[in-house]
Structure 1
Amino acid sequence: MKKICFVMQSATPGTHMDYVYEMARVLHDEEKLPLTLILEKGSISVQPKWVIPQKFHLTPLRIIENFLLICSLRFTGHKTFYIHYSFLSAISAGIITKLFGGTVYYWNAGMPWQYKRPWVENLYQKLAFKMIDYLVTGAGALIPGYCDYYKILPDRVKVIPNWIDLSKINIDLSVRGDFRAELGIPESAPVLLFVQKLAKRKGAHLLPEIFDKVKKD
């Protein structure tokens, strides 16, 4: 079985990074995949042996440390690299796999071509996309943007929808009537709750179609 190097850009409690770490944990503990996690910034409350946090904070030292960590894992049999958002690790893994073999999967679902960045950062970003083998994103609607701006071939894009753990969400159905009364919504009226930014990458463009289906049903 191929060894996997999974890289997280940060571990900030209470953010979506909790789910990213949980995905890595499930793959390692429950699916029994030979996975090692590099954590660029932050820390895990209970840190298992398969998690390697970066120690340095100064940027030049962090860059060198990151490259050496990924290189050391490549020489211990890790040939598959999954990078979550980090341009730094995407470039490091890209260089190492081009020299010594391997495959780099890079997660990005933020429509970065719309952000205004200094030209140096834009150059660094474009280099990261050129160094990877596959882009992994969260929605098929984002694929044309990545392909057009970063010249990525469509067959080099993988889609993995975001997921949540419903067991960790407290659902109290008894308060539905209170909310309807507070907002002036009749009991018979269908309600669709969308808790996210009104952005295409969050699926906002699908809302009109969903509303129509809710009304018909």
Structure 2
Amino acid sequence: MRTESLPARSKVVYVIPHLSSEESEHFAHIPAFLAALGARMDVVALVERGTPPARLPGVRKVISTVGRSRVARLVRAFSAVRWCARTGYRTYFLRYSRFLLIVLILTYPLFRHRILLWRSGTADMVDGNRRRTLRHRWNDLFNTLLARCAHGFVTGPESMVPVMRARWRIPAHRMRLLYNDIDSDRFAPLPPDVRQEARHRLGWDDTEFVLLFVHRLSFRRGTRLLVPYLDAVRAELDRPVRLVVVGDGPDRSYLEQLGRGRADLRIMGPVPNQQLPSLYGAADCFLMPSYEEGFPRVLLEAMSTALPLVTTRAGGSADVVGPDYPFLCDVGDLPALIRMTTEVARLTSSEREALGVRMRERARERFSPQHVASMLEDIL
């Protein structure tokens, strides 16, 4: 009897810049995505920094290039690339990792691998009110040369494709679209009793309207707007208002100084990503007043927990929430941010529930790990 052999599974090395159990950055989302990707192809995870686990669901092998010195990291990285080549893994997908990108470019003549590089946003660019130093110019040139050495440049969402193409001077035929993903099982709405318990544990009163900001604390993310924004929202609403700020960055000390002695402003600092779902679930509204964005995962996190959000159209934000989302305003429009926040606060319980269901369904259907894994498989 004649039997047909199954098609060979694709192989990919997924490079992770940083991974640990206490991860506070968006790399904490990668394990759920790799589990979905591993159902479609053979995956090796190559971790550059952190304390990676020995095993990850869906991953054939976890390789760490963590070392105490650059030389040690370089040796481990070279050994990892050589092992991957010998076992048939010749396609690499990198998120932002410059170190591994350099290693792959240098070792390409030996192993002839394929490099797919993900980048989104313009956070590497110097603010318009700062002077571009020689160091800035050199980094810009060096990063551009590195990006153009990749065989494929991957970015998302849709509106960021032409932005990234122009930013890094990439030919159109080498551009690829790929979404960020969200684990909607982990980022899910809290049942009413669990939500109330979480608010009490956090010290939030039932009558308070709690605003949540989760992001890097920098000028680009709109952190200089937070205090005047909070004061204006408090003046508009006839109920107590609290702003909870989660994250770290150059503006943290600035915010802590302004918030000293204020009970309505709490700066929590960085929080491990594993602990964020309860914060989203306990809050009343998510705020993202960014001037600059790429593909903000924080919007996916808020959407998946059915938390109403107010955001600007920075970067690909409109693609994430949808252009018809009612609480989306222009970059830097503080009056609109204030007005939309008060509108969210005045939603009826049925209106709030309907909005939350709509946003959670969008997150689950459009940005699930399974759908994004399918997108990456098509790219490969």
Q: TM-score, normalised by structure 2?
A: 0.47
Question: Residue 145 and residue 37 in structure 1: after superposition, are their counterparts in 2 closer, same or farther (change >3 A)?
Answer: same
Cα deviation for residue 5 of structure 1 reads: 1.1
Question: Residue 113 and residue 98 in structure 1: after superposition, are their counterparts in 2 closer, same or farther (change >3 A)?
Answer: farther
Aligned to 2:44: 36
Q: Any conservation in 2 of the 1:7–1:82 contact (CA below 8 Å)?
A: yes
Aligned to 1:204: 312
Give the Cα separation in 2 of the matches to 1:138 and 1:119.
26
Q: Any conservation in 2 of the 1:91–1:132 contact (CA below 8 Å)?
A: no
Q: Which moved more, 1:139-148 or 1:79-88?
A: 139-148
Gaps of 5+ in 2: 1-8, 127-131, 197-203, 210-236, 239-283, 297-310, 329-342, 344-354, 356-380
Q: Which moved more, 1:78-87 or 1:156-165?
A: 156-165
Cα deviation for residue 80 of structure 1 reads: 1.1
| Offset from partner CA, 1:70-99 (integer Å, 9 cap, x none) | 233123211211112101212222343455
Cα deviation for residue 21 of structure 1 reads: 2.6
Aligned to 1:154: 172
Quick check: which has more Rg, 1 or 2?
A: 2
Number of residue equivalences: 208
| Offset from partner CA, 1:171-191 (integer Å, 9 cap, x none) | 136469x99964449xxxxxx
Aligned to 1:73: 84
Q: How does 1:1-217 map to 2 (within 5 A)?
A: 1-12=9-20, 13-28=23-38, 30-31=39-40, 33-45=41-53, 47-48=55-56, 50-97=61-108, 99-115=110-126, 118-172=136-190, 174=192, 182-183=208-209, 184=237, 193-196=285-288, 198=290, 199-201=292-294, 202=296, 204-205=312-313, 206=318, 209-211=324-326
Q: TM-score, normalised by structure 1?
A: 0.76
Gaps of 5+ in 1: 186-191
Q: Which moved more, 1:50-59 or 1:121-130?
A: 121-130
Q: Percent identity?
A: 17
CA RMSD of aligned residues (A): 3.5
